[in-house]
Amino acid sequence: MDLNQGAFDFAEGRSLRRIETPAFRRNDPKSSELAAEHVTASGVRAAQQQDAYAAVRAFPGKTSNELARLTGQDRHQLAKRLPECRTAGMVTNPKDDDGNPILRACTVSGRVAMIWMPA
């Protein structure tokens, strides 16, 4: 089973794009590999990606922590799925003139964080 993919079958008018982000790290314990297999095979990963994408569309320009507070989604889940959505070309992190992600203080944590925008 290929655990390095998810599906964007909900992408409005966009072709499906294979997501090549690892679902677990090589050095993770076996339990992480099994969890990744379950989350991917069951469709949970794809559903979480869809939820993350919907959150960014509903609240553009927010941090993952702000998105979690606004939507009720788990912040750590969003932090895993948003980069997968970025890889799929569905969301982006705006860049400054030097090509670095724009950072700002998160209104939830007070810490500096990236913001997310629909692609």
pLDDT value of residue 2: 43
pLDDT value of residue 35: 86
Bridge partners of 112, per DSSP, are 105
By the 8 A CB rule, do 78 and 55 touch? yes
pLDDT value of residue 9: 45
> Which residue would you say has higher pLDDT here, 33 or 78?
78
pLDDT in tens, 12-34: 555 555 565 677 888 889 998 89
Q: Supply the pTM of this predicted model.
A: 0.80
Query: What CATH number belongs to 30-118?
Result: 1.10.10
Domain boundaries defined on the chain: 30-118
Rounded to an integer, what distance in angstroms lies between the CA atom of residue 56 and that of residue 94?
13
Name which of 71, 72, 91 is nearest 81 in CA terms. 91
What count of Cα atoms within 13 Å lies in the side-chain half-sphere of residue 37? 7
What count of Cα atoms within 13 Å lies in the side-chain half-sphere of residue 18? 6
Q: What is the DSSP string of 73-85?
A: --HHHHHHHHHHH
